A and B are shown apart, each in its own frame.
Chain A
Amino acid sequence: MPDSHPSAVTEPIPADSVGLITPEVAHFDTPLALACGKVLPAYDLVYETYGTLNAQRNNAVLICHALSGHHHAAGYHSLEDPKPGWWDAHIGPGKSIDTNRFFVVSLNNLGGCHGSTGPVSHNPETGRQWGPDFPMVTVSDWVNSQVRLADYLGIERFAAAVGGSLGGMQVMQWTTAYPERVANAVVIAATPRLSAQNIAFNEVARQAIRSDPEFHDGWYAEHDTVPRRGLKLARMVGHITYLSEDAMGTKFGRDLRTNDLNFGYEVEFQVESYLRYQGDTFSNSFDANTYLLMTKALDYFDPAAIHGGDLARALAPAQCPFLVVSFTTDWRFPPPRSRELVDAMVSAGKPVSYVNIDSPHGHDAFLLPEARYQAIFSGYMSRVARDLGIREAR
């Protein structure tokens, strides 16, 4: 527990944090057949858990991460961590996903670059890093691997599968591929398929990476380099789509870093400085091949496609109640995409609730705390706990 640690840090860990967390690794030897036709003979999944699995094993909640996410959703890895996990606003004691009630499982997906088997892992067949040889993985491959993690942890059925953005797509996949293994589904700021504009932005990001001279067809590690400029550009263009025009306007406006115009191409506007900073940080911490893979997984997701575009038919196998949440200023996956999903659920006769949260923060709003969002989210999760007879651990 955080309290027992020496208080060498400037800021103590907040009381509503899950505290210090150590990631764990699950190794799987059963080969995993992938949608692309290839087979992954063995793999690791890195994951974290928060809270305690109860005796009935019915209080587990699965967190599915988005494009640049990972297993570290809540708490701190060390007392020196400047920031907690990416969804700390919503996971913890007394928070929307209340760790006093729920046992939360959060993993890094296959193909990731934070510890699960992916392009930066060692390929036993070649003796080199996987690099660009790492097979393309899809949302359904991820869910198949998550099922194995559930088996490994002894979880027969999740009380809820929860995810935002690309994470929401994994939740949809769970409900249709493994309907008996998920009791509730929370799909936030997601879409049943990418629009042409979404794919276009992803393609710009991929081209930025692939045209970087340091990319070396994905074998940059063997050249002892990183396609940093490409990754940075990819992140910059991605980041623009995560924020709303208003949020950017409010945050930066046309503010200059210095008082005068320089009539040059160095950073002048605050927004330029911000984007460059975001891009730089990202390019130092994320793998380019992983980024390429993840954007392709986004592009490929389209559960209605094999049903002639009929989303209601695609959702037919689902058995659980859904909560669908969108945000008013999200233009990456805007409210009408969530509404499309909800309408398909309604015509498939599935229990679903839909909320469109008023937020200025664009797509990023799903990561942030907001009063109405939290009221809805925690209200839904309390109902989940009540229906399943899950009590607070004491």
Chain B
Amino acid sequence: MMRADLELIYDWVPQGAHVLDLACGDGTLLETLSQQKNVSGYGLEIAPDGITACIARGVSVIEHNLDDGLGAFADQSYDLVIMTQALQALRRPDKMLDEMLRVGKEGIITFPNFAYWRHRVHLGIRGYMPVSKSLPHAWYDTPNIHLSTFNDFEHLCRDKGLMIVDRAVGVGDHRGHWTSRLWPNLFGEIAIFRVCQRT
């Protein structure tokens, strides 16, 4: 069983694609994609446990800090650059978005939606920083330094002139209910975007 956002991404990745998976974690997605869709490519990761797990399962993983950019990777050398649940932890998410679409023809990004209704209840009514399944950390030890919402991300894509090819929502362990598809910024817990350069 893969995480809900990973399952959705799985469906979006074409057969035989050359993929770069940023913050690939334990390599589950890449392993599944290579076994079932003949996908090739590399994962980048910085967490030691994730790297060890990737190597043990035979996923090509490169220890790399995403805040250093993707300098060594050539322009347009990947069909797809995927980054799940890492955007909010980067020093400059906007610059990473540029890097993803420099290296890849298309990018898939997932992140926790800060405007999810439960988060709003935490902050707006109870007056506390939200803690939830998608935002499990306390305010003082969270790696998430750039939280954003569905609307924020769409705004950024518009400013950069990027095309949103597809958009999806995840809630809990499953894909979004119709309410979250209709009002993602309120009912979507995980935002999932597929973007490319406007040609």
Contact = CB atoms under 8 A, between A and B. Distances in A.
B134 interface: no
Contact of B61 (A353, A372, A382): A353
Given A353-B62, A355-B63, A346 B42 contact: yes
A380 B55 contact: yes
A352 B61 CA distance: 7
B125 interface: no
Nearest to A352: B60
Interface of B: 40, 42, 48, 51-52, 54-64, 72-74, 77
Given A321-B60, A342-B62, A346-B42, A355 B74 contact: no
A81 B54 CA distance: 39
B56 A372 contact: no
A339 B48 CA distance: 17
Main secondary structure of the interface of A (DSSP, over half): helix
Nearest to A371: B48
19 contacts: A321-B58, A323-B55, A346-B42, A347-B72, A347-B77, A352-B60, A353-B54, A353-B60, A353-B61, A354-B62, A354-B63, A372-B52, A375-B52, A376-B51, A376-B55, A379-B52, A379-B56, A380-B55, A383-B55
A355 B51 contact: yes
Contacts, number: 51
Given A355-B63, A372-B48, A376-B51, A383 B58 contact: yes
Identify the 8 closest CB pairs spanning chains A and B, nearest first: A379-B56, A343-B72, A354-B62, A351-B60, A383-B58, A379-B55, A375-B52, A353-B61
B63 A383 contact: no
B48 to A, nearest CB: 6
Contacts of B59: 353
Nearest to A322: B60
Interface of A: 321, 323, 339, 342-343, 346-347, 349, 351-356, 372, 375-376, 379-380, 382-383, 386-387
A197 to B, nearest CB: 23
A382 B60 contact: no
- Residue from the set A339, A346, A349, A352 with the largest chain B CB neighbour count within 10 Å: A346
Contacts of A380: 55-56
B74 A352 contact: no
A319 to B, nearest CB: 14
Nearest to A335: B63
Contacts of B63: 354-356
A347 B42 CA distance: 11
Contacts of A386: 58
A299 to B, nearest CB: 27
A91 to B, nearest CB: 19
Given A339-B72, A347-B74, 18 more contacts: A343-B72, A346-B72, A347-B72, A349-B40, A351-B60, A352-B42, A352-B60, A353-B55, A353-B59, A353-B60, A354-B63, A354-B64, A356-B63, A372-B52, A379-B52, A380-B55, A383-B57, A383-B58
B56 A383 contact: yes
B56 A382 contact: yes
A239 B54 CA distance: 35
A136 B86 CA distance: 52
B178 to A, nearest CB: 42
A346 B52 contact: no
A386 B60 CA distance: 16
